[in-house]
Structure 1
Amino acid sequence: MKRTDKLVRPNVLKLVPYSCARDEYEGSDGIFLDANESPYGPLNRYPDPRQCELREAIGRHKGIPAGNIFLGNGSDEIIDLCFRIFCNPGKDRAMIFTPTYGMYGVAASVNDIGIVRIPLDDTFNIDLQAAKPWLKEDTLKLVFICSPNNPTGNCMNPETVETIISEFNGIVVIDEAYADFSGKPSFAERVGEFDNLIVMQTFSKAMGLAAARVGMAFADADLLRYFFAMKPPYNISTINQEAALLRLSEADTVARHVQSIITEREQLALRLTALPMVEKVWPSDSNFLLVRIKDADYIYNTLAERKIVVRNRSREIPGCIRITTGTPEENEKLISELERISV
């Protein structure tokens, strides 16, 4: 038994996964009388439960073997599976670095898992000294690191992240949803080095497929077999698999869109900084900006009344709103409306 197998809940180790009709016959041609589907209609057949074609295409795109790739119905399904596979309800805990993506805490609560919250330091980086004592705690099974972090926008120090991966006996999950906007190396390239590392990415951000709900997990193949065993049999529809495959074939277009967003992000940051109401705009490795602004609640509500929707983060970070980078026209409209507001 590998050391990571010892981290898996006993009931999951014993689990006999559901075997659906498409697991038992892998061909694409034939007369299919096995799955009680209707013989009529353009979408009458169940999707590939293991998303083989899509995983192979992602593997070619990322330079990672398909066997090291798991796909979820959005990254949120992968987050939930991490808790269900590795954490015993009412006993185990997970660590997060706050402020960060809210679904880690929600998924923990749904699964009755305690959360250890380590505040980020004044530069929104991981306070390694505060985290280290917990890494030897037997009941701590998961560490979630969002990098680039939501809502602060910055990448975490890679040396700090590597220290946590190396010193922690549990599973480290790095959420790289915004990595395409950072220009920095991905930890997905290093899953072969660390058997306790899971790296999440998504089709929702740079790929522009938020409606399709396709999340990716890169990890050791032996670790991923528990995810395949635990997931619902048809967790990603044929329509969404085909949408993701089409988007992968449009790599040049996606690259242009990403570069456009990065350029607009930097220009938007300069325009915001020049406004009297803006107190600070943090540097960003993502597709959004964290902005400290005078009377954040009033600004948020006023913009919403004018049909410009930003995110009010002042409950997590006092006085702050989060602004997603839009098209040049959308960004110009935002600045124009902010210039009309007096606080």
Structure 2
Amino acid sequence: IPGNSKNISEFFLLELSDDPEMQPFIFPLLLGLFLPMYLVTMLGNLLIILAVIFDSHLHTPMYFFLFNLSLADMGFISTTNPKMIVDIQTHNRVISYVGCLTQMSIFILEGAMDCTLLAVMAYDRFVAICHPLHYTVVMNPRLCCILVLVSFLVSLLESQVHNWIVLQLTCFKNVEVSNFFCDPSQLLKLACSDALTNNIFMYFVDDIFAGIPVSGILFSYTQILSSILKVPSLGGRYKAFSTCGSHLAVVCLFYGTGLGVYLSSAVSHSPRKDAVASVLYTVVTPMLNPFIYSLRNRDMKRAVRRFLSKTVYSQYMCHPFGV
């Protein structure tokens, strides 16, 4: 359906199943899968946020960054998952042109925030392990706030650059987006004219904005590993490395699933296989992050238990007879 982008009012998102006979069985299954995953993700990240707010033991730079990472994860999954759940329930694949651009912008903003905050958290672990005596001086509250603010501004810039690239498209030859959410790479494929220059520029932008945080993470962990290997005792090495174990697990999960989606789209020519791979990146990863941090971190587990016990106790004192 060709037309000028200014006249296009809506796009059609991809269905996760194209078999009409199987849809009565698949849609309830998908709804029963994605809705609980979304609720678990929101609840898990909300517990981390509340634990950090109300537990004074967690008022440290590491948990301040974790607080912001949880906010970013909640925004990241909320950009795509609720729309997908509603579409499954209503069998509606339509998204407006403005809604598509808005979803794309917020999705890139929150994803970039995840990327930059993981780099900031790696720097925090680098200072804590390699320069422990100067940790409180270096990682002061002012610097922590500046790092989070810079992460947001850089992520916002990346989001707006992608938005600008898509807005340069003057014509679309089709309105069928080959994914369950609006992705700039998919929109470029729908352009009437040759979008090679836009594609090259977009991948250049992605390499710059993703390459700097990745370089920071690699540098931090290279220095961390070098410092840990200098610790004489095996117990000391384990104790030092355990302080960054949760963060390293989240980094591997985030970039591992992202790389998997990239390789899948490069090798596979099936849009639905690409969409299934995208589910891992957009749904599964934000859901697992709270579990990784709460299960591997004693302080976080204690804080969550204290918060839940206080909440239950206060509810019981206010309503001792359940009324």
Give the TM-score category using the shorter length.
under 0.3
Which has a greater percent of helix?
A: 2
Higher relative contact order (CA 8 A, sep 6+): 2
Normalised by the length of structure 2, the TM-score is: 0.24
Which has a greater percent of strand?
A: 1
